[in-house]
Amino acid sequence: MKKILAVILSVILSVILSLAGITACAADGDLTITLQIGNPVMTVNGADREIDPGRGTVPVLVNDARTLLPVRAVVEEMGGTVEWEDAANTAVLTYGNDVIRLTIDSATAYLNDVAQTLDVAPALINDRTMLPIRFIAESFKFDVEWDDETQTVTVTKAAEAAEPTATPAPTATPAATAEQTAAPTDNDRQESKTLVAYFSATNNTEGVAKHIAEGIGADIYEILPEVPYTDADLDYNSDCRANREQNDDSARPAISGTVENMDRYDTIFLGYPIWWGNAPKIIFTFLESYDFSGKTIIPFCTSGSSPIGSTTAMQNVTQGANWLDGQRFSGGASSDTVMDWVNGLDLEL
């Protein structure tokens, strides 16, 4: 009897909820949002929703490269919030612990207070604030795909990753408390001949490095500076430590710890953030610390938008190494995206 009552009650409850227009929050399952250039309606897990309710605003393509649109409804569907600071002409977008600040007509955006360079600046078009969806979604660690044929942007996040986390906000490089050594990701398996070595000041590159190491069962080693970078050291709008190092050809920031047995690795994935179009100088310290002759080095990086660029300067400090072409990722690149690249390299690991 109790069972029958419970079933009747749950049916009544779901009817009331659906009448009230309450649907399960997108964060409870996989989330897929599609947006099309010129179309005022987006789809959220297949259901039509107006992008700019009551106004009919459509996404626009700027410089044939970046989609701008009014993002409030999209960000709210993602589970985030949007606030507007009138005086500063700035939109403040929040998702979990991540905060993006975007200012009209400025190509500099801030993700968690770190300046990022945009390909296309936010703009006022027909009185609506139009913001770059790829930058926003990738910064919030959603995947973004562009279909040129249908002029459609698809923003996705898998269920387990959809809920904003309440973990403490990422800080600059954690203090090096102990000597860092390369650690196998799985102690039970055979010794790996592949090492993923990375430097990451704000943890974006770390995410990609972990995807690679986990995806191929490689050892992983974090290049930790002896003197950690503070937020002020990374404030690239000022005369900060990172800027000074990038402008100084002889800068070689010291590394805390060593790779225990570099001899045993024949392939090294080398990860870093792009700083002013290049690898941070600590990567040069790393490359000058070991003998890489006969080894294959595969660079990868994360950046706000800059490509990986030339690695010639790095190649010049390693003698006899075999450098492969590198790959740039956005900070929130998914394991699938990263592993697609790794698998495409056809390495014999």
DSSP string, 130-147: EEEHHHHHHHTT-EEEEE
When asked if residue 51 is in the footprint of ligand FMN (CB under 6 A), the reply is no
Residue whose token pair is 């599609």: 34
| Alpha carbons 208 and 301: distance in angstroms, whole number | 8
CB 141, min distance to ligand FMN, A: 12
Nearest to 115 by CA among 104, 105, 102, 124: 102
Which position among 59, 70, 253, 331 is part of the footprint of ligand FMN (CB under 6 A)?
331
- Cβ atoms < 10 Å from Cβ of 47: 10
Instruction: Choose the binding region for ligand FMN from 29-37, 62-70, 196-204, 318-326 (rule: CB under 6 A).
Output: 196-204
Is 204 among the residues that bind ligand FMN (CB under 6 A)?
A: yes
**Least distance from ligand FMN to the Cβ atom of residue 317, Å:** 21
CA distances from 67 to 3, 51, 173 (A): 52, 13, 33
Query: Rule CB under 6 A: is residue 304 a binding residue for ligand FMN?
Result: yes
Find where tokens 């009014």 sit: 70
Among 33, 120, 201, 282, binds ligand FMN (CB under 6 A): 201
Q: Does 205 bind ligand FMN (CB under 6 A)?
A: yes
Determine if 146 is a binding residue for ligand FMN (CB under 6 A): no
CA dist list (Å): 7 to 3, 18, 23, 304? 6, 17, 19, 51
Per CB under 6 A, contacts with ligand FMN among 20-49 are none
List 242, 270, 283, 287, residue binding ligand FMN (CB under 6 A): 242
For ligand FMN, the closer of residues 130 and 209 by Cβ is 209
Rule CB under 6 A: is residue 102 a binding residue for ligand FMN?
no
Residue 275 in contact with ligand FMN, rule: CB under 6 A: yes
CA distance 130 to 111: 18
Decide if residue 303 touches ligand FMN (CB under 6 A): yes
Q: How many residues bind ligand FMN (CB under 6 A)?
A: 24
How does strand 152-157 pair with strand 31-36?
antiparallel
* 326's tokens: 């590198």
Contact call for residues 309 and 277 (beta carbons, < 8 A): yes
Among 264, 277, 310, 336, binds ligand FMN (CB under 6 A): 277
- Contacts with ligand FMN by CB under 6 A lie at 114, 116-117, 200-205, 234, 236, 242-243, 273-277, 302-306, 331
